[in-house]
Structure 1
Amino acid sequence: MVATPTKAKTSRRFYPTRIDLPIDVRSQVTKILNQTLAATLDLKTQTKQAHWNVKGMDFFQLHELFDEMAGELESYVDMVAERVTALGGTAMGTARLAAAESILPEYDLDAIDGVEHVTALAERFAAYGKHLRQAIDTTEGLGDADTADLYTEVSRTIDMRLWFLEAHLVKKSDLD
């Protein structure tokens, strides 16, 4: 029997909480968090795509680096989803929802060597980092310092990982 795809119900129901943020703030923040959840899940799977498929002279170091990065992203998936639910919302964390809602472009499935994978991931980590910085400003502006702090924590690691990726792409001619 083949499953027939159906559009998931994306309920915006809120559950009771004693967190003292107004429902309109919690609603806006959980919408941003769910967009982040989708992008984080997508970035994690794209990083695993690189981990599984990288080839070339730098295979081992990149294979290990990509796996470590995917593990970090997995912990951020959990942090973001749990913040949504702490605010009384519903975490929208299925693979189908993530694919439909992610801000990231699709991964280049023809990437083979290390430079191609590193370049693809650097582009995606940069876009994700930009999203995080915008979310810091927005959630702070809404008066949710805790969510802004969560975003700040994630942003620091993403910027560091982008630095690691970009360091692989520097050529001697770029330094002259």
Structure 2
Amino acid sequence: MVTAAKTRLYPTQIDLPAEARAQLVELLNQSLADTLDLKTQVKQAHWNVKGMNFIALHEMFDTFAGTLENYVDMLAERITALGGIARGTARIVAQTSNLPEYDLTAEEGRTHLQALAARYGQYAAAVRRNIDRTTELGDADTADLFTEISRQIDKDLWFIEAHLQA
């Protein structure tokens, strides 16, 4: 990951110190990478799910991917609002995402649900840590963004886990 010391910041009238903004940009870029990766993994499940619950899972996964795409845009725009550069290319995401690689041989719905439950749980924990860290850095707006993401990710994780509990 690129360190905060290497973060280029554009001038802005946002009243957060440059050091805090640099740390926020790095944290947001990490979340951007993780969110993009999670979105592509959800799409992988969407495209390749098989079995009795195909249509329900296929549609649910597509809805989740759309939600994540909205968060990708929100995170990237927050980065640039803080004067940073959003790093969201496929190559950067592949190098920096904290999520494990997706099993490309997965087919059956339960296998996809288990994989996504694990990834959503890991992602949700990171988002909650980001709420705390952005609050410490004095950025209530970014903390609020992460709170919004956290609420929806927890709800989506509930939907995934509800399928597994049957």
* Alignment partner of 1:169 is 2:156: no
Q: What secondary structure sits across from 1:166 in the alignment?
A: helix
Percent of residue pairs identical:
63
Show the counterpart of 1:25: 20
Displaced runs of 4+ in structure 1, greater than 4 A? none
1:46 alignment partner AA = Q
* Alignment partner of 1:115 is 2:101: no
Q: What secondary structure sits across from 1:72 in the alignment?
A: helix
Aligned equivalents of 2:8 and 2:73: distance in 1? Answer: 20
Show the counterpart of 2:96: 101
Structure 2's unaligned 5+ residue stretches are: 1-5
Alignment of 1:1-176 (within 5 A): 12-171=7-166
1:63-107 per-position Cα deviation (integer Å, ceiling 9, x unaligned) = 000000000000000000000000000000101101111010000
1:115-162 per-position Cα deviation (integer Å, ceiling 9, x unaligned) = 000000010000000000000000001100000000000000000000
Larger radius of gyration: 1
Figure out how many residues of one structure are paired with residues of the other and give that number: 161
The alignment's TM-score, normalised by the length of structure 2, stands at 0.96
1:78 alignment partner AA = D
What is the deviation of 1:13? Answer: 1.2
The alignment's TM-score, normalised by the length of structure 1, stands at 0.90
Show the counterpart of 2:3: none
